[in-house]
Amino acid sequence: MSAVAKPMNNDAILKVEHLSMRFGGLMAINDLSFEVRRGEITALIGPNGAGKTTVFNCITGFYKPTMGMISMHQEGGKSFYLERMADFEVTRDAKVARTFQNIRLFSGLTLLENLLVAQHNALMKASGYTVLGLLGFKSYKDASKEATEKARYWLEKASLIDRADDPAGDLPYGAQRRLEIARAMCTGPELLCLDEPAAGLNPRESQELNKLLRSIRADNGTSLLLIEHDMSVVMEISDHVVVLEYGQKISDGDPAHVKNDPRVIAAYLGVDDDEVETVRHEVEEGAN
Amino acid sequence: MEYFIQQLINGLTLGSIYGLIAIGYTMVYGIIGMINFAHGDIFMLGGFAGLIVYLLIMTVFGGAPIAVALLCMLVVAMVVTSLWNWSIERVAYRPLRGSFRLAPLITAIGVSIALSNFIQVSQGPRNKPIPQMVNSVYTIEGISVSLKQILIVIITVVLLASFWYIVEKTPLGRAQRATEQDRKMAALLGIDVDRTISITFVMGAALAAVAGTMFLMYYGVIVFTDGFVPGVKAFTAAVLGGIGSLPGAVIGGLLIGLIESLWSAYFTIAYKDVATFAILAFVLIFKPSGLLGRPEVEKV
Amino acid sequence: MATVTNPSAASTGSLTAKALREATFTAVMTFLMFALFIGLKTDQNMRNELILVPRWGMLAILVVIAFVGRFAMVAWLQPWRTASKAAKSAAPTVDEDAGFVKRNFSKLAILALVLYPPIILWIFGVQGSLKYIDNFGIQILIYVMLAWGLNIVVGLAGLLDLGYVAFYAVGAYSYALLSINFGFSFWILLPLAGILSAFWGIILGFPVLRLKGDYLAIVTLAFGEIIRLVLINWQDVTKGTFGISGIPKITLFGIPFDASPNGFAKMFHLAPSSAYYKVFLFYLILLLCLLTAFVTIRLRRLPIGRAWEALREDEIACRSLGINTVTTKLTAFAIGAMFGGFAGSFFAARQGFVSPESFVFLESAVILSMVVLGGMGSLTGIAIAAIAMVGGTELLREMDFLKHVFGPDFTPELYRMLIFGLAMVFMMLVRPRGFVGTREPTAFLFERKAVSGAFTKEGHG
C-alpha cells in the first residue's frame, strides 16, 4: 500500500478472506481471498466448475461457508459479516443483491409487480406491517406511489417500460435478464452480484446489457461483482478481474494483467502444469 | 417379555400389510411424482374382490381347501384390481400428466371418493364379516402365533423378493428407474414411458390387492370406508421410509405396524393413530427425506 | 384432418372398424372390472351370514352402455370435436367486449345474494323457505368462506394444506366450549375463535415451514387428523364422538331468536318461526364472506400479499430480494386459519351441535378441490366452484322424481358422493386450471391485463 491516500470511494466494499467451502469430500472453494472495491466492476472468471457460483452463494447467504470470513462495508460505515447472516438478511440489511444463472423471475407476476415485490421491506414498513395498509391509511398509498415510480424508473432504464403490464414469463430471454437486474436494483443495493448476466444473449442484447451495467455504476453508484464466461464482456466493462480455478485464485488484477497471465491462459486452454512455463515464454515473446 | 414379543409379532403382521400398500404409493410417487390418493381405496377394492371370490367359492363349490381358496382369492383380486388401477391411470391421470401439479392430486381425491362410494352403492354400506378362514394357532413358550400371521408374513416376503427382483434386475425395472430419473430422456432413448407408468400402476395395484385380501383374512371383516385409514398409514410408511425407495416403504410399513401395536399395548389404544401421525410429522420435520430416501439438495 | 372434414368411403370404414375395436375392448374391460362388484352383491341372510345375490342383468346393461358409449365417442364425437376445433382455429378470433354483466359481476352477485332471502320468503312462504335459505344459502356460503380462507394459503402463497379443516374445528370447538362453559356471547367469541385458530395456524405452521410440496401436504394432513383424533379421545372436555350439543344461539345484539316475550318474533309482531333466525344467519355469513373477500383483495395489494404470490412463483428469488419467507409463510397460515376459525364458530352457532364427524379429511379435500377447481387465487372462480359442488350435491338430495324412473328402492342420495367424486375427476380433466384460469394483476402502470394461467406457477411449498 503506498503512502498516497487513495480516494475514499475506492476502498474495499466486500472482503472475502480465507473462504473455504466443502461439499462432502469435495473442496469447492479452497482458501480464497479477494476484494471488491467500491465503485468498480469486478469480474469473477474461471473455467466451468471452478466454484464461481459457490462463491456467490456464500456471499449472498445461500450457502454457509465451511471456513472464512466475508465482510461487507457499507458507504455509511456500517460493516456486516455476511457468513453469519441468513440469505434474506444479506439483501435486506447488508444491501447485497444478486441475480441467478438460470433466471429466477416471478413469471406469473407482471413486470411492475416483480419490481414491487423487490421493494417489499420498504413497503412493509410503510404499510405498518400490513395493519395500517389493511385499514387504508394514507401513508401506505404514498409509499406505494413512490415504489411505482421507482419501478417505472428501472423499467425505463432497462428499456422494458412498454411491457410493464405483461407477465414476466412472456418476455424474451434477453429482456428477462435485464428485468432480473432491474428487480435486484429495486432492493436498493450497494453491491450487485450478477451470475453470468450475458449468458445466452446475442451480440445486440449483450451491448444493451453492458450499457445497463455501466449506467448502474455511473448513475446509481452501485458496485458490481459479476461472474462471466464471455471474455469480451469481461474485458470491456470490468475494472478488476479475479480468476478462479479448482476453487483457488490463480490471478487477480486489471483486465490487461489477467489477460496476459500465463496461468490464466493455461487454465483456459487447458495445458498441463509443466507446460505453464512454455506458455509464459510464448506470451512474453508475443508481447515483445 | 412374552407380552412384548407377542406385540412384536402382531406389529410385524400389521406392518407387512402397510408395507405392501406403501410400495404402491412409493412406486407411483417415484415415477410420476404424484400422491396417488386413491391407492387406499384400491386396497379396499382388492379386499372386496377377495371377499366376493371367497363367497363365490363357498356358494358354488361349497368350500375348498384353504390353500386353493386363498390362492384363487389372491389371483383374482390381483387381476381385477390391476385392471381397475390401469383404467384409472389411463382415464383420469394420464391426460393430466405434465399439467398443473395440483390437478392430478385433486383428480386422485375425486377417484378416491368415487371408488369408496361405488363400493358403498354396489355392495351396501354395512360391515361385511366372513367366518375365520384359517384358525390354527401355535403356542411356543407362551407366545401364540396364528397361522394367518405366518401366512401374511410369508406372502409379503415372497412378493417383496419378486418385486425387488423385477425392479432391480429386469429390463422393465430398468425402464422404470430410467423413467423415474428423467422421463424425457428415457423417452428419447426409446423407452415406452406410457407403458412403463401403466405397468407401475398395475404392480402397485396388485400388491395393494394382496394387502386387501390379507387384511380381510386377518380381521375377518371389511367395509367400504376401510381404504382411508390404512391408506393414510401406508402413505405415512412410504414417507417414513423415504418416498421413492422400495425397501424404505417396507421398513416404514413395519415400523408403523410396530409403533401401532406397541403403543396400543403399553399406552392407550385411543391415541394410537395420533402416535402414528405424530411420528410422521416428527420424521418429516427433522429428516424430510425419510429413513432411506435421498436428501433433496436445494439448487440455487 | 382433411379426411375427417371430407370423409371418403375408405376412411369412414376404417374409422368404424377402429371404433368397433375400441368399443369391444372397453366392453371387455368393463365386464372384467365390474363382474365382481356389479354382477354380484354381497348381502346378509336371515342368519346374518353373507350371501351373494347375482345381478347379471345390471352387469349386461353396463357392458352394453360401455360398448355403445365408446363406439359413439370414437366414431362420432372425436371426429366432430377435431373438426370443430379446426373450424374454430381457422375462424378469426373476435375480440368481444366485456358485457355489462361481466364487468359488474361481483356487484351483481352481491346484490343477488342480498335479495335472495326476501325473494325466497316471498315465493315459498315462511316455512317453505327454510330449506332454501339453510341448506342451499347458508351451507354454500360457509363453504365459500372456508374456500376463500384456504385460498390465501394454497392459491396465493402456494402452500399445499390438506389439514385446513383442523382450523375450522378449532373455531367450532372454541365457540362451543367457551359459550357453554363461560357463557360468552357469539360476538365476543367470533374474534376470539379466529385468534385461537390463527394461533394454532402458527403453531402447526412453524415446524412444517422447512417442508416442501407433497411433504407439506402430508404433514398438514397428519396434523388435521391429530386434531380430529384428539377431539374424539379427549372425552372429558369434548365429549368424544357424542359431540357437544346445546350450543347457544346467536343473538341480534341482545335480542334472542326464540318465542320469549322479548324475542325477535314478538318484538316485531311476527308469527314465531325459526325462519327468521335462518335469515339472520344467512346475512351474518354473507357478511363474514364479504369480509373475507375484502381482506383478501386488500391483502393482495399490500406487500404481504405480493410476497405470498411471489413465494408461490419462486421462493429462492424471494429470499434473494430480502423477503423473510418464514414470517411470510406463517402469516399466510395464520390468516388462512383465522378465516377457518371464523367459519367454524359460525358453524357451531348455526348447528347448535358439533362433533368430530364434521371435521374429517374429506372436508379438507372438498375445500381444497373448490380452490383448485375454481382456479387458484380467483375469488369468483372459487365461489362458483363452491356453489356448484355444494349446491349440486344438495340438489341430488332433491331428485325424488328419479324414483319413478328406477323404482321405489332407488335412493338418489346414496349416489350423491359417487357422482360428486366422478364430477370432480371430470371437471379437472376438462379444466385443469379451474374455472378461472387467469390471474388479475395487483398493480398496473398503463392498463390492467389478466395474466394467462400458462405463466403462473402453483407453488412448491
Reported ipTM: 0.86
Region C243-265 average pLDDT: 72
Whether residues C322 and A89 touch (CB distance < 8 A) is answered with: yes
Establish if A62 touches chain B: CB-CB under 8 angstroms: yes
For chain C, give the mean pLDDT: 81
Residue range C179-194: mean pLDDT, rounded? 85
Asked if A91 is an interface residue toward chain B (Cβ–Cβ < 8 A), one would say no
Q: How far is B300 from chain A (nearest CA, A)?
A: 8
Rounded to a whole number of angstroms, the distance from the CA of A143 to the nearest CA of chain B is: 32
Output the pLDDT for position B264.
83
Q: Name the grid cell of A246.
A: 479448482
Residue-level pLDDT at B44: 94
**Domains of chain A (ranges, CATH numbers):** 9-95+188-259 (3.40.50.300), 107-187 (no CATH)
* Distances from the Cα of C442 to the Cα of A120, A150, C302, angstroms: 14, 17, 9
How close does chain A come to C316, measured CA to CA in Å? Answer: 8
> And the C-alpha cell for B148?
394367518
| CB < 8 Å & 24+ apart, contacts of A127-136 | A127/C302, A127/C303, A127/C304, A130/C299, A130/C302, A130/C303, A130/C304, A130/C331, A133/C298, A133/C302, A133/C303, A134/C295, A134/C298, A134/C299, A134/C302, A136/C298
Q: Which pLDDT band holds residue C3 (cuts at 50, 70, 90)? A: very low
When pLDDT is cut at 50, 70 and 90, the band that residue C271 belongs to is low
Closest chain B residue to A53, measured at CA: B300
Averaged over B213-222, what is the pLDDT?
Answer: 89
Q: Test B118 with C43 for CB contact under 8 angstroms.
A: no
Residues with pLDDT less than 50, chain A? 1-8
Indicate the residue of C232, C415, C429 with minimum beta-carbon distance to B121. C415
Flag whether pLDDT at C94 surpasses 70. no
- Domain(s) labelled CATH 1.10.3470 in chain C stretch across 105-398
Decide which of A259 and C191 is more confident.
C191
- Model confidence at C4, pLDDT cuts 50, 70, 90, reads very low
Q: Contact C359/C256 with Cβ under 8 angstroms?
A: no
Q: Is the dihedral of CA C7, C8, C9, C11 positive or negative?
A: negative
Q: What is the mean pLDDT of chain B?
A: 85
**Looking at the predicted structure, is the pLDDT value of residue B111 above 90?**
yes
The whole-number pLDDT of residue B47 equals 93
The answer to whether the Cβ–Cβ distance between B106 and C373 falls below 8 Å is yes
**Which residues 60-79 on chain A approach chain C with CB closer than 8 angstroms?**
60, 62
pLDDT at C335 over 50: yes
The residue in chain B having the minimum alpha-carbon distance to the alpha carbon of residue A58 is: B300
Residue A190 Cα, gap to closest chain B Cα (Å): 22
Of C85 and B49, which is predicted with more confidence? B49
Q: State the CATH class of domain C105-398.
A: mainly alpha
Neighbours of C262 (CB within 10 A): 10
C357 pLDDT more than 90: no
- Is the pLDDT at B297 greater than 60? The verdict is no
Instruction: Identify the CA nearest to C438 among candidates A58, A216, A204, A167.
Output: A167
B300 has a chain A CB within 8 A of its CB: yes
Cβ distance of C303 and A106 shorter than 8 Å: no
Residues in A 149-188 with any Cβ partner in C closer than 8 A: 151-152, 155, 161, 164-170, 183-184, 187
Between chains, do A108 and C321 touch, taking CB under 8 Å as contact? no
User: What residues in C contact B33, CB-CB < 8 Å?
Assistant: 214
Give the ranges where A158-254 is alpha helix by DSSP (H): 173-185, 203-220, 231-237
pLDDT at B59 over 50: yes
Work out the average pLDDT over C166-195: 88
* Reported confidence tier of residue C99, pLDDT bands at 50, 70, 90: low
Subunit partners of chain B (3 or more CB pairs within 8 A): A, C
Task: Give the minimum alpha-carbon distance from A24 to chain B in angstroms, rounded to a whole number.
Answer: 13
**Subunit contact B270:C432, Cβ cutoff 8 A:** no
Residue reference for cell 490463480: A250
| Residue of A233, A236, A282 lying closest to A261 (CA atoms) | A282
pLDDT above 80 for C13: no
The pLDDT of residue A280 is 60
CA atoms within 13 A on the CB side of C287: 8
| pLDDT score of B78 | 94
Show which subunits contact A, needing at least 3 CB pairs below 8 angstroms. B, C
Identify all chain C residues contacting A92, using CB atoms and an 8 Å cutoff: 322, 324
The mean pLDDT of C285-305, rounded to a whole number, is 90
Q: Does C327 score more than 70 pLDDT?
A: yes
Window from A19-23, A222-226, B210-214, C9-13 with minimum mean pLDDT: C9-13
Return the minimum-mean-pLDDT range out of A229-238, C160-169, C321-330: A229-238
Q: How many other C-beta atoms are found inside a 10 Å radius of the C-beta of residue B120?
A: 18
3-state secondary structure of A80: strand
pLDDT of residue A250: 84
Give the one of B87, B99, B239 whose C-beta lies nearest to C33's C-beta: B87
- pLDDT attached to residue C145: 93
**Is residue A100 less than 8 Å (CB to CB) from chain B?**
yes
Q: What value does the mean pLDDT take over residues B253-280?
A: 84
The yes-or-no verdict on residue C183 having pLDDT over 50 is yes
More confident residue, A146 or C447: A146
B297–chain A Cβ distance below 8 A for any pair:
no
With beta carbons under 8 A apart, name residues in chain B contacting C421. Answer: 110-115, 117
Q: Residue A222: what pLDDT?
A: 87
pLDDT at A79: 84
| Nearest CA distance, B139 vs chain C (angstrom) | 30
pLDDT of residue C2: 40
User: What is the per-residue pLDDT for A88?
Assistant: 85
**Is residue A97 less than 8 Å (CB to CB) from chain C?**
yes
pLDDT at residue C1 in the model: 38
**Nearest CB to A108: which of C304, C313, C446?**
C313
Task: Give the pLDDT confidence of C196-246 residue by residue, as tens digits.
Answer: 999 998 888 887 777 777 778 878 888 888 888 888 888 887 887 788 888
CA nearest C44 in B: which residue? B128
Contact A160, A95 (CB under 8 A): no
Mean pLDDT calculated for residue range C40-48? 79
C-chain residues near A89 (CB < 8 A): 322
Residue-level pLDDT at A102: 86
Q: What is the longest distance spanned by two Cα atoms in chain C?
A: 85
- To 5 degrees, how large is the angle CA A28–CA A31–CA A37? 105
